[in-house]
Amino acid sequence: MNGPWLLIAVIILGLAFDFTNGFHDTANLIATPLATRALSPSGAIMLSCALNFAGALSFTGVAQTVGGKITDPFKLPNGPVIVAAALAAAITWNLFTWYLGLPSSSSHALVGALAGAVLAGPGFGDINYNGFLSVVQGLALSPVLAFPAGLLIMALIKVLLGKAPLHPTNRRFRTLQVFSAAAQSFAHGTNDAQKTMGVITLALVSGGYLHALLVPFWVKLLAAAGMAAGTGSGGWRIIKTVGTGITRLEPASGFSADLGSAAVILSATFFRLPVSSTQVISASILGVGTARRRSMVRWGTMVNIAAAWLATLPAAAFLAEGYYRLLTAPGVIR
């Protein structure tokens, strides 16, 4: 397999990764409105599909960061094979953590896998360390910002509406949560789908099919469709963990968590930084739970989620190295 056939394989793997990202990460987006009964399962999925698709078509800055900051696509030898190995590793990790019901980060998986595949191939000299560190810093900083965002929004609502009647307040916030869930889904599309666009564009440039790091419209369209299709497939194991495993959510707290995470993700997209939607949403929910009462947070669940986050980068890099060795074995790719 070489030339156009290898590129076709990369595109198929990219769409498969986008699909797993959809049912893995996007499960987090609809966990809060489902936990508070603001939306039915079918309504939440339809809303998330549509807004993810729209968000994915709206920006390309994150794609250019992923495609051009970790390694130089114009000087990368064997680029399409490296991208294929990275995507295969990220898909494997997504499926493994989905099976366990852990909301780990598809973003961490892809970044770690891409770095691991480059290290396995051309080696250390082809890693752009400043660019790689800036990407990792963005991934690490996003949940740190999401925690106070969720906490402050929830605290403000408590101050303003602390003595309001419970049932009318819940009814109003269920309505508002439809809009906050829509904002969160749109924000997710602006950031997460671009990562797939970025690695496919990297493969196109390194393979000599593109001469500038610009995302073609057909790549944007395929990535948006793959993300929307994955969203529609469910991801119920992770929905249960995020929606009920961290803290008990009510309409006001679900709205706060949605709004806080949407603000952080959209800000990251504006600065062209890839972030982990899983981390952002989980941290925002944690902040909301802390604002309500620390004892309401299930800290054991957060420990398990944090352990999955920490394991993702090295595990994905290790898997990518294995896939690269497999793909470059004699007789596999000619």
In a domain, 321, yes or no: yes
Which residue range forms the structural domain that includes residue 13?
Answer: 3-327
CA distance 214 to 181: 30
Tell me which residue of 252, 283, 33 sits closest to 150, measured CA to CA: 283
Dig out the tokens for 222 from the structure: 């395929």
Tens digits of per-residue pLDDT, 92-114? 998 888 787 766 788 889 999 99
pLDDT of residue 44: 77
In a domain, 282, yes or no: yes
In a domain, 120, yes or no: yes
One DSSP character per residue, 34-84 reads HHTTSS-HHHHHHHHHHHHHHHHTT--HHHHHHHHTSS-TTT-TTHHHHHH
Tens digits of per-residue pLDDT, 177-215? 889 888 988 998 899 889 999 999 999 999 999 999 999
In a domain, 333, yes or no: no
pLDDT of residue 173: 87
Domains in the chain, number = 1
In a domain, 17, yes or no: yes
CA distance 225 to 21: 12
Tens digits of per-residue pLDDT, 18-72? 888 877 666 666 777 777 777 777 777 788 888 889 999 998 999 999 999 999 9
In a domain, 280, yes or no: yes
- State the angle between helix axes of 166-206 and 217-232 in degrees (0 to 180), rounded to the nearest 10: 140
Tens digits of per-residue pLDDT, 54-68? 999 998 999 999 999
Dig out the tokens for 188 from the structure: 């997710």
